[in-house]
Structures are given as C-alpha cells and as structure tokens.
Structure 1
Amino acid sequence: MDFDWLPRYWPLLVEGFWRTLWLVALSGVFGFLLAIPVALAQVAGGRILAGLSRAFTTTIRGTPLLVQLYLVYYGLGSLMADIPAIRYGPLWPYLRDGFWYATFAFTISVAAYQGEIIRGGLLAVPRGEIEAARAFGMRRSRILRRIWLPRALQVSLPALSGEAILLLKSTPLAATVTVIDLFGAANVVRSETFLTYEPLLFVAAVYVLCAFVIAVAFRLIERRVPSRRGL
C-alpha cells in the first residue's frame, strides 16, 4: 500500500471533506424543515394537500437519486443558462456551480424520505394525549408545537438517524456533476497517480468515521429526550 501521495493531495482532500460536510448539513437541515409540512399535509392537510404530498413522496422515492440529480443539474441548470438575464446576472457564478444543484436535489430527497418517517411518527402518537391537550383548552397550533410534533420526532429519531447516514453515503453522487467533494477529490488522486485502492480506502475510512459520529450524535439526542414513561 502506497500512501506517499497523501501529503501532496491533503489540501484537496480537506477541501473535499468540508464540501461534503456542507452538502450533508445544508440538505439535511433544509430537507428536514421541508419534511415536516410534507408529513403534516398527509396527516392533517385535507384531501388535496394530502394527495399532493403523497404524489411528491411517491415520485421522489420511486426514482433514483442520480436521475433526480441529473434532471436538476442538466435540466434546470441548462434552462437557466439559456435565460440571458440569469446567465449574465450577478447570481450566475453561484447558479453555474454544481454544488447548489446537488444540494437542491439532496434536499428534495431528504424531504420525501424523512417526510414519510415523520408521518409515521405523527400517526404513532396516542390520540389520548392530543385529546387531553384539547381538553385543557390548547389551540391546534400549540398542540402541534408542544405535544404532537415533539412526540412524533421522539418516535422517529432512530429512523432519522439512519436517513442522515444514508444522506452522507449519497453525497458521492455530487461528483458526477462536477462537485469536488471528498469522493471527487479521491477521483482526482486516482486519475493523477494511477492508484486505485489507496485513495478509495482512505475516503472510505473517512465516511465510516463520519457515519459513526452521526450515529453517536443521534444516540446522545435520544438519551437527552425524555422517554415515553417520563412524559
């Protein structure tokens, strides 16, 4: 095993690592924020909103993420490039960057998958707790904020942890749209050094470490969240 290339490509790998973390953080946070209304629309949004939400989750979960990423990057990106006001506007340096298209595609994917998880969590909350809150005169918005949604998230935490790790494992797809993330940096090393296994083994170890950190973080959150008996 030859790792003499590591000091030379270390800055590129570090840059790719931080770009990967940004991909996970941005798409994870915004995807989670979108997942909540997606779940609520199916549970308490009425027939039209529920139908639209189910159509969204079914479409996103039923198509490969790589296809979605290509549609966003080559479809939406090409469409905006054909609009002179955008192509020659101040936002074009950002809009031509594949990073933002990858973030958008990952965000939509996270919203669909986590929306289904949160929907299951909302349905798992005992109806008696919600009825008790209504008996105390709580408004619907306060019940959602203080009881229904927190309990649903509590139930959903293990599954959300798994989805966060799956998101991390999906980020190498960003390299297919010119994003030099951690995997993209490894591809640069492979193409310039003609080494195959060493760069891949290195980034695989980094991904395993990141997945371990995510799993531990969610376990700590689960321990800090009151148990069902304590509520």
Structure 2
Amino acid sequence: MNPIDILSTYWPRLLDGTLMTIKLTLMGALIAAVVSPGLALIRTQAGPLVQAPLRLYVSFVRGTPILAQLFLIFYGSGQFRPLLQEWGLWGFFRDPFNCALLTFALNSTAYQTEILRGGILGVPSGEIEAAKAIGMTRAKTMQRVIFPHAYRIAWPALGNEVILLMKASALASVVTVFDLMGRTRQVFSKTFDFSVYLWAALIYLCITAIFVIVWRQAEHRLSRHLNPNAWERSKDKSLKATQS
C-alpha cells in the first residue's frame, strides 16, 4: 500500500489515537496547573521542614524517566491491591488510562511547580513593596501582583512543558492506553508499512504547531500592556475597520 492508501484506510484509528493523545495531555497539564501554584508558594515561602517532602518529590520526578514512573504506578499498584481494595481505590488503579493520567499529572506538576517557583522569584521586589504601600492584603498581592507577573515570566517555559508532556504521552501505549503512537504500532503490525510512522510524526507536528500558535496568542494578550504602542496600533486598526 502507498502512503495515501494507508491514511485513507486507517485514518479512523489514527484519529482515535490522536484524540486520546490530546485528552491525556490536556487533562494531565490542567490537573498540574491547578495544583502547582500552591506548591510553588510552598517552595518559595515555607520553611525548610515543610519544603522537604515537596523537594524530595520534585527531585524524584525530575531525576527519573517518566517511563519508570509509569511502570511504578501501573504495575506497582498491583502489589498493594488488598490495601487499595480496602480503601476503595483499586477500581481507579486497575484502569490503565487512570494510571497513565496520574503519572503525567504528577510529572507535569513537579515541572510546573519549579517553573512557577522561578517565575515568583523573578517578580521585582519593588512591585510587592508598592502593593503593600497602597494597603493590599497578602491575598490581594498574590492575586493581582505576584501571580500575574510570575505567569508572564513563566509562560514560555510552561508552554514547552506542555509540548514535552504531549510527546511523552507516546509512552502510554506500553500500558495498553492506545494513544496516537499505540494506534500507529497497531497499524504497522498489520501492514508492515513504515509510512504509517511518517503520518504519526506529521500529526504530532500539526498538534504541536497549533498549540504553539494558540500559546503565543495567549502570551501576547498577557503581555500586551508591556508594549502600549503596539496595543494602540491594534486599537486604531480595529477602529478603522469598524468605521469602514
């Protein structure tokens, strides 16, 4: 079969795998995005004893391959089946998708925590002092000064983390979660046509390209006030377009 025939015949499987890849990536990244701000605050403001478990967790995740983490959660949980059944958690850990999602969420949380920690430390102290001077509470300072600036600093690195997570999702197929790479291997085992891997690579490339475009647009919106001239030009263009 030629490459076009491969795509036309097996596109439903490749599409199914693509949707699974997107689902794993987005859910894992979103879970990490919810958890990591609180952990980043602990990393920057808590005492050494409070930070110790978090530092150990981050060091373990960043220092070990994600494949090893996936095996530990998927196969390792079976060693604690009686205990998990007693706690009512075995139904969660027996599902390969849940184990893969938990692995990716834990992995991304560690990286996003450290990225946000760097963003928080990068906020100028003068801005924080100014917020205190006008009577902002600690919570308001976090909400309106520290975190908005920290996210602007960390935004490109967070985007890279999501892209890396998307590519790492190809490992989910080793625990029978049929993402794009898993479906590609299935097709190859039937056709022995290497071009299916080319199609998979192109799909990954398209997903990444779309994500980069969306992420950069979000970055421009977050930072538009830093370039007032560009912002004024965009408003003038919009006004002219409305008048015409």
Aligned counterpart, 1:2: 2
Q: Distance in 2 between matches of 1:84 and 1:110?
A: 27
Aligned counterpart, 2:237: none
Matches within 5 A, 1:20-35: 20-35=21-36
Give 5+ residue unaligned stretches, structure 2. 229-244
Cα deviation code 1:21-51 (max 9, x no counterpart): 1101100100122221221111012222222
Aligned counterpart, 1:103: 101
Aligned counterpart, 1:54: 55
Task: Summarize the Cα distance change of 1:132–1:83 in structure 2 as closer, same or farther, 3 Å threshold.
Answer: closer
Matches within 5 A, 1:82-121: 92=91, 95-121=93-119
Aligned counterpart, 1:41: 42
Aligned counterpart, 1:142: 140
Task: Summarize the Cα distance change of 1:11–1:77 in structure 2 as closer, same or farther, 3 Å threshold.
Answer: farther
Q: CA deviation at 1:96?
A: 2.4
Task: Summarize the Cα distance change of 1:199–1:82 in structure 2 as closer, same or farther, 3 Å threshold.
Answer: farther
Give the greater-gyration-radius structure (CA): 2
Aligned counterpart, 1:154: 152
Report the residue type matching 2:216 in the other structure.
R
Q: Distance in 2 between matches of 1:40 and 1:185?
A: 40
Q: CA deviation at 1:7?
A: 3.0
Q: Distance in 1 between matches of 2:179 and 2:62?
A: 24
- Of 33-42 and 21-30, the range deviating more from structure 2: 33-42
Q: Is the 8 A contact 2:74 2:93 kept in 1?
A: no
Aligned counterpart, 1:14: 15
The TM-score with structure 2 as length reference comes to: 0.86
Aligned counterpart, 1:206: 203
Q: Distance in 2 between matches of 1:90 and 1:156?
A: 35
Q: Give SS of 1:5's match.
A: helix
1:220 aligned to 2:220? no
Cα deviation code 1:161-201 (max 9, x no counterpart): 11111111101000111110000000000111122x21110
- Of 62-71 and 51-60, the range deviating more from structure 2: 51-60
Task: Summarize the Cα distance change of 1:52–1:83 in structure 2 as closer, same or farther, 3 Å threshold.
Answer: closer
Task: Summarize the Cα distance change of 1:230–1:138 in structure 2 as closer, same or farther, 3 Å threshold.
Answer: farther
Q: Give SS of 2:75's match.
A: helix
Report the residue type matching 1:46 in the other structure.
G
Q: Is the 8 A contact 1:98 1:179 kept in 2?
A: yes
> 2:178 is matched with which residue: 180, 189, 197?
180
Aligned residue pairs total 227
Q: Is the 8 A contact 1:42 1:119 kept in 2?
A: yes
Cα deviation code 1:3-34 (max 9, x no counterpart): 32333322221111111111011001001222
Cα deviation code 1:134-157 (max 9, x no counterpart): 111111111111110110000011
Give 5+ residue unaligned stretches, structure 1. none
Report the residue type matching 2:2 in the other structure.
D
Report the residue type matching 1:170 in the other structure.
A
Q: Distance in 1 between matches of 2:95 and 2:53?
A: 30
> 2:166 is matched with which residue: 159, 165, 168?
168
Task: Summarize the Cα distance change of 1:164–1:138 in structure 2 as closer, same or farther, 3 Å threshold.
Answer: same
Q: CA deviation at 1:72?
A: 0.5
Q: CA deviation at 1:225?
A: 1.0
Identity over aligned residues, as a percent?
Answer: 36
Q: CA deviation at 1:79?
A: 2.5
Task: Summarize the Cα distance change of 1:209–1:64 in structure 2 as closer, same or farther, 3 Å threshold.
Answer: same
Q: Distance in 2 between matches of 1:107 and 1:20?
A: 14
Q: CA deviation at 1:53?
A: 2.1
Report the residue type matching 1:112 in the other structure.
A
Q: Distance in 1 between matches of 2:225 and 2:56?
A: 33
Q: CA deviation at 1:80?
A: 3.3
